[in-house]
Structures are given as C-alpha cells and as structure tokens.
C-alpha cells in the first residue's frame, strides 16, 4: 500500500471511528435518559376511575397508546404478571388527549396490554386519571399496597424501549414475593404523555413536561 | 512410490510452493468473505431502517408526533457504520485491516440492531450469528477483534450506564465477564474450527504442490525419454538406410553372376556374327543380304546389352528421394525380370509371368518397387533350389484402388514357428554367407513407405508373398503438404 493510500485510509478510519463512536454514544445516551418522573399522591386518590381490588396491591401504568418505547414497558408488565397475576390488581391507563378521535387509543399497545391476563386496560379520556396520578412519561408505573398507600413509583424497563431486567421490575417482584422493596423509585423511560404546548390542567400538581 | 512420497514430504521446493498456493487460496477466501460482508452490511443497513420504520416510526409528545430518533439513527448511524468497511472492501479487499474493521463494524451493527428492535433478547443472537459468519475468514484473530468489541462495549457500559446493559444501576465489576464469557464460549469452538480449516487448506495446498511436482517430474522424464527416442529413431533411420543399401548391394552381388551371364550370351552372338562377317570380307565380295542380316543381329544384341546396363545403372543408384511417378506395372516387372531371367534359367527354375494388363499403373518409386520384386523373386528362386519341382509364378491383380503383385513358388509355405519372424531384420533361413536377413524387412519398409502392405499369404498351399500398393499417393501428398 502506498504512503498516500495509507494516509487516506488512516484519515478515513479516524473520521469513521469518531462518527461511529459519537453516534453510538448519542444513541446510548438517548436510551438511558429517563423521562420526567411522576409525583403521585401518597395514598390512593379518591374518586379515581381505576379499579382498586380489596386486600390486594394495585398497580397503575400510564401509557401513551402510540409510544413505541412503551412496547417494552407493556412487555415487562406481561413478564411481571406471569408471577404476580393473583397478587396484584393492574390498571393500564391509555390516554386519549382532548380533541383526539374515539378509538385513537386502540393501538397495538392497547391490544397487547388488554391481552395480558389480570390487566385492565382503561381509556383515559383527556388524561384525567393520568393527571390524577401525576404521571408524565409513558410507561410510568405507580404501585399502592393493599391499604392504598403508595409504595413504588417508576419505570419497569432498563432503558428507553428496551426490555430486560430492570430495578423497577425487580423491586415490584420483590414486594409481591417477599413483601419488601429494595427501591421505592426508579427511572422511567418513554414518550412524554403531554405535548410541549399542553398546559397542565392541574397546576397545583406541579405538572412538567419532558422533552 | 512411498519413498517418492517421503521425498516430496520433505522437499523444501514443494513446501515453498505449498506455501504459495496456500497464501493464494487464503487470499481468495479473504476477498470472497470481504465481499460477502460487503453485501451483508448493505442488507443489514436496509434491514435496520426497516426495523426502525416498523418498530418505532414516530416519537410522540402528547398529540404531537415526529420521526423517531431510531429512524434517523438507522439511516445515518447505520450508513456511518457500514461506510468504512465498504470502502475497504472496494479499496483493499483481502487485507488484514479490512477484515478486522469488518469484524468491528459487524459488532456495531449488532448493537445498533439490538437498539432498534427494542433490546429484544432474540436480536442478541445476531452477535453469535455474526461471529459464526466471521469464522468464514478462517482467521481466528478476526474473532478476537469482534469479541473484544463486545467485551469492551459491556465493560464500558457496565461502568457508565449499567442500567442499559444489566437493567440495574449498580453491578459487580466482574459482571461484564459473564456476558463476554458466552461469546468466548462460542469463540473457543470457532477458533478451533478456524485453525482446523487452515490446517486442512494447507494440506490441500501441499498435496496440490506435490501433485504439480510429480507432474513436472513426469513431464521432465517424458521430455528426456522423447529426446532419447528421437535420437534412437534417427539412428534407426540411418541404420535402416544403410541396411537397405546393404540389402540392395547384396542383391546386386547376387545378380552379378546372372547379369554377367545375361551379357555374355549377347556378346557371344556379337562375337560369332562379327567373326562370320570378317571371314566373308576376307573371301572377297560378301552377299549384301547376309551382311545386312548379320549387322542387324549385332545391332539388336548390342541394344539388348545397352538396355541391361542402363537398368543396372538405374537400379544401383539411391532411389529413396525419387519422386513418385505413375508407371505401368508391366514395365516395372519386365525391367526387373531382365535382371534375373538368366539366373532362373541357369538354375532350371521355371519363371512364369502371368499376363499383365497394359493399363495397370501405379504411382510409385519404380526402382524401389523393382527392388522389392527382385528380392521376392530371388528368395523364391533360392527356396526352390533343392525342391524336385522348381517354379516361381509372378502375377498381378487389379483390386480397385490397389494393385496386388503376387510371387508364388513351388515351396509348401513358411513354417508356422518362423512366420512371425520372417519380416524381422537380420532373420534368414539361408545358409551363412548367402543371405543378409535384411531383404524382406527392407522390402516391407519400402512397401510401407508407399502406404502399401507386404503380406505372407497363409491361405495359399504354396509359399506366396503379396505386395499390395495403392494406385495413387494423393492422400500421402496432401498430408505432407498439410
């Protein structure tokens, strides 16, 4: 190989390495950057349309019906339910923002969630219930114990749109099987449930938007 | 053969050649596999874009949607990942650097696809499939590069973003080894396979080199043998020419007596007539009619002597380079008989010549054909010397494209035990000093040079030789011209 050609290859290799490393870094960074956390009420909110089973812990998951990242969250919920089916009441709230047509929320995620045994899929018209639980990111999971006391708030995926073992899922499973929680919060990965220009309907709840 | 193989096994020349063949074949494999990965990279890029479009086409913020980052990543980062290896496949196919960059890139493609498919466990098999594909290079070092990328990726992310790999925020420092360990597990077998494949490839190269060496040796032996054969052939040709000459001279020697006799008789006639003329001249005025008659007799007899001498001169010269000429068979036979008629007469052997058609002609070297006929006639005469019934018959037959000249004698045929040897050089049944043993073999050579055949006719109750000559030599001439 001539010196000129070698220099060209070396130059190309350097540029390529920088571009690829930068790209991969950006992708990983995007994947592990969490969404805005929820600020749920410490006790089960009165008047909620979500079903709360007597004597059982209740889990609420807020989902944007078209968020591709939440597919992993629903998958992980499915995994969770294989071990906690009879120990847990689960509500998955599919938001339908104001102005969206009927059945807008009936996406493949809806079908997926509704198909999980023991899971109740609910249409959250104008995201009232979601805001009641102060969830801001799709895939947000909020867990109340049998007495209606908040025990956990966070996500159940390890990264954005990635299935697999996560701190949130492990905590919930530990709570269901051992009765204790190693962590009470975890990062949640998913699309923002509310758009950048959507004003919070309940300012008092400190609603913020994640971009 | 085994000793030969052993020699080849330890031959540095063959080892050197085997190394060359091996390097060439290995380079071919590298180039071919580079191209395979070139195509695969393009396919994976398109597949990644397809995955992104299907799995995560749009990102949502409330009611607002935009193209998902994964789509841009699939297009742009995917293109960036495959660009450099593709450039190298085009610019430097078969080079070590190219396949290591391909291995590096292939692992990045795996990471990208895992991301684009939402970290599905199934997509992780792409890593293991890629390692198996990289083993196509038969270069275990490539597997090390690929595995190092996986190990470094897990180590680095385990250090800074453990959640993205292990799903938890805090992991043990050795945790990356567990993931990399499964890659190493596959590597062990693939590396073993690569080493075995290379060894087999080298053995094949060695066998090919050995085969080439054997072929070269055989070719060299053939060349030497061919050269020796050519020399032998040349010597044989010289010897054959000398033999032919010897045979002819022997035949001439044998003829000498007969010819002397043949010339003596006319000379006696000339002498007698000349004496009578002299006496008549001494007596006075001889009768004109008688003088004229005697002078004519002398003239005719002198002409006969002249003809014999002319034929003898013609016969004695070299004839192998004579051109082929179309000659009446009758002329050849009559000229030949001139040489031996007297000998037959003196040996009281009847020479019977069957009528020969005037129109029967052959394209030949007439002197050589004459030599063959004379040889057969002499042999026949010698063979009948001790027989009570002594005759030799010469006949001709038109066989269409061929003329057959048959010489039959009153003998009862050639004994079976010597039939096979009768045409071989130096074989003779005559007593020592009488025959050279070359006559028939030389005759056979002459006949064959005319594209004819000299045959001993086993079917005949008497000893009978057949000379079959083609009427024309056109095919031979065409062949020579070509």
CA angle B387, B389, B391 (to 5 degrees): 105
Q: Please provide the average confidence, as pLDDT, over all residues in chain B.
A: 84
- Contact list, A108 vs chain B (CB under 8 Å): none
Residue B262: predicted pLDDT: 67
Residue A169: predicted pLDDT: 92
Taking only the tens place, the pLDDT of each residue in A3-62 is 888 888 889 999 999 999 999 888 888 888 899 999 999 999 988 888 888 889 999 999
| Interface contact flag, B108 A20, Cβ < 8 Å | yes
Supply A9's token pair. 């290859």
Residue A199: predicted pLDDT: 43
Q: Is a pLDDT exceeding 80 seen at residue B206? A: yes
Which range, of A153-157, B17-21, B235-239, averages the lowest pLDDT?
B235-239
Nearest-Cα residue of chain B relative to residue A159 = B164
- Find, among A145, A69, A129, the residue nearest to A97 by Cα: A129
- Contact list, A196 vs chain B (CB under 8 Å): 61-62, 64
Q: How long is chain A?
A: 211
Q: Is a pLDDT exceeding 50 seen at residue B3? A: no
Query: What average pLDDT does the segment A152-156 reach?
Result: 95
% of residues, chain A, pLDDT over 90: 57
- Find, among A187, A128, A199, A36, the residue nearest to B161 by Cα: A187
CB B454 within 8 A of CB B380: no
CA angle A82, A87, A90 (to 5 degrees): 75
Q: Is a pLDDT exceeding 50 seen at residue A208? A: no
Whether chain A has a CB inside 8 Å of the CB on B108: the answer is: yes
> Using CA atoms, how far apart are residues B452 and B465, in angstroms rounded to an integer?
13
Which region, left, alpha or beta, applies to residue A72 given φ > 0 means left and ψ of -120 to 50 means alpha?
alpha
Q: Is a pLDDT exceeding 80 seen at residue B449? A: yes
Question: Chain B closest CA to A29's CA: distance in Å?
Answer: 9
Taking only the tens place, the pLDDT of each residue in A172-192 is 999 998 888 888 999 999 999
> Using CA atoms, how far apart are residues B403 and B82, in angstroms rounded to an integer?
86
Taking only the tens place, the pLDDT of each residue in B376-428 is 888 888 888 888 888 999 999 999 889 999 999 988 877 777 776 677 665 66
Whether chain A has a CB inside 8 Å of the CB on B166: the answer is: yes
Residue B94: predicted pLDDT: 92
pTM summary value: 0.61
CA angle B397, B315, B241 (to 5 degrees): 95
- Contact list, B92 vs chain A (CB under 8 Å): 1, 9
**pLDDT tier for residue B315 given thresholds of 50, 70 and 90:** low
- Find, among A174, A103, A157, the residue nearest to B118 by Cα: A157
Residue B191: predicted pLDDT: 95
Residue A210: predicted pLDDT: 37
Taking only the tens place, the pLDDT of each residue in B350-384 is 999 999 998 899 999 888 888 889 888 888 888 88
- Contact list, A28 vs chain B (CB under 8 Å): 157, 161, 164
Supply A171's token pair. 């905590």
CA angle A110, A113, A116 (to 5 degrees): 145
Residue A204: predicted pLDDT: 38
Taking only the tens place, the pLDDT of each residue in B285-302 is 777 787 888 888 888 888
């Amino acid at each position: 190989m001539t010196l000129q050609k070698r220099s060209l290859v070396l130059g190309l290799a350097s540029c390529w390495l920088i571009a690829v490393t930068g790209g991969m870094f950006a992708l990983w960074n995007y994947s592990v950057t969490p969404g805005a956390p929820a600020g749920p009420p410490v006790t089960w909110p009165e008047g909620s349309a979500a079903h709360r089973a007597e004597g059982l812990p209740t889990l609420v998951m807020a989902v944007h019906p078209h968020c591709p990242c939440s597919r992993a969250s629903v998958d992980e919920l499915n995994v969770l339910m294989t071990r906690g089916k009879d120990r847990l009441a689960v509500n998955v709230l599919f938001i339908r923002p104001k102005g969206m047509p009927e059945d807008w929320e009936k996406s493949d995620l809806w079908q997926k969630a509704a198909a999980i045994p023991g899971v109740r899929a609910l249409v959250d018209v104008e995201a009232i219930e979601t805001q009641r639980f102060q969830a801001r990111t799709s895939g947000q999971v909020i867990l109340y114990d049998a007495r209606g006391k908040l025990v956990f708030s966070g996500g159940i995926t390890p990264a954005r749109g990635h299935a697999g073992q996560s701190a949130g899922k492990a905590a919930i499973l530990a709570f269901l099987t051992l009765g204790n929680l190693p962590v009470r919060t975890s990062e949640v990965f998913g699309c923002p449930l509310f758009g950048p220009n959507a004003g919070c309907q309940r300012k008092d709840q400190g609603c913020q938007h994640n971009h | 053969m085994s000793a030969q193989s052993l020699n080849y096994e330890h031959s540095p020349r063959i080892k050197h050649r085997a190394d060359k063949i091996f390097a060439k074949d290995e380079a071919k494999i590298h180039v071919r596999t580079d191209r395979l990965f070139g195509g695969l990279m393009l396919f994976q890029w398109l597949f990644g874009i397809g995955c992104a479009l299907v799995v995560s086409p749009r990102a949502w913020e409330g009611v607002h949607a935009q193209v998902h980052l994964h789509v841009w990543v699939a297009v742009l980062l995917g293109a960036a990942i495959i660009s450099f290896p593709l450039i190298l496949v085009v610019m430097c196919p078969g080079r070590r650097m190219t396949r290591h960059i391909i291995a590096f890139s292939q692992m990045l493609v795996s990471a990208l696809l895992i991301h684009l498919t939402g970290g599905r466990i199934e997509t992780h098999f792409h890593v293991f499939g890629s390692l198996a594909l990289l083993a196509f290079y038969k270069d275990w070092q490539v597997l090390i590069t690929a595995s190092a990328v996986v190990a470094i990726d897990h180590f680095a992310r385990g250090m800074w973003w453990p959640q993205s790999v292990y799903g938890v925020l805090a992991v043990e420092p050795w945790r990356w080894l567990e993931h990399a360990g499964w890659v190493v597990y596959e590597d062990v077998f693939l590396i073993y396979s690569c080493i075995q494949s290379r060894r087999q490839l080298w053995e094949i190269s060695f066998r090919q080199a050995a085969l080439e060496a054997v072929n070269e040796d055989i070719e060299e032996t053939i060349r030497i043998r061919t050269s020796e054969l050519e020399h032998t052939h040349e010597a044989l040709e010289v010897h054959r020419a000398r033999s032919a000459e010897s045979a002819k001279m022997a035949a001439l020697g044998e003829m000498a007596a007969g010819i002397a006799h043949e010339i003596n008789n006319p000379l006696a006639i000339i002498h007698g007539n000349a004496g009578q003329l002299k006496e008549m001249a001494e007596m006075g005025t001889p009768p004109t009619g008688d003088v004229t008659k005697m002078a004519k007799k002398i003239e005719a007899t002198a002409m006969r002597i002249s003809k014999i001498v002319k034929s003898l001169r013609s016969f004695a010269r070299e004839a192998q380079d004579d051109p082929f000429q179309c000659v009446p068979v009758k002329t050849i036979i009559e000229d030949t008989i001139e040489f031996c008629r007297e000998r037959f007469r003196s040996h009281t052997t009847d020479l019977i010549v069957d009528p020969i058609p005037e129109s029967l002609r052959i394209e030949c070297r007439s002197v050589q054909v004459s030599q063959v006929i004379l040889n057969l006639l002499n042999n026949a005469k010698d063979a009948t010397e001790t027989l009570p019934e002594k005759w030799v018959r010469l006949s001709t037959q038109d066989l269409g494209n061929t003329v057959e000249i048959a010489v039959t004698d009153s003998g009862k045929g050639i004994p079976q035990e010597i039939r096979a040897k009768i045409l071989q050089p130096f074989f003779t049944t005559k007593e020592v000093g009488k025959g050279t043993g070359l006559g028939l073999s030389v005759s056979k050579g002459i006949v064959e040079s005319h594209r004819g055949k000299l045959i001993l006719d086993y079917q005949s109750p008497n000893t009978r030789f057949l000379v079959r000559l083609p009427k024309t030599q056109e095919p031979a001439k065409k062949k020579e011209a070509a």
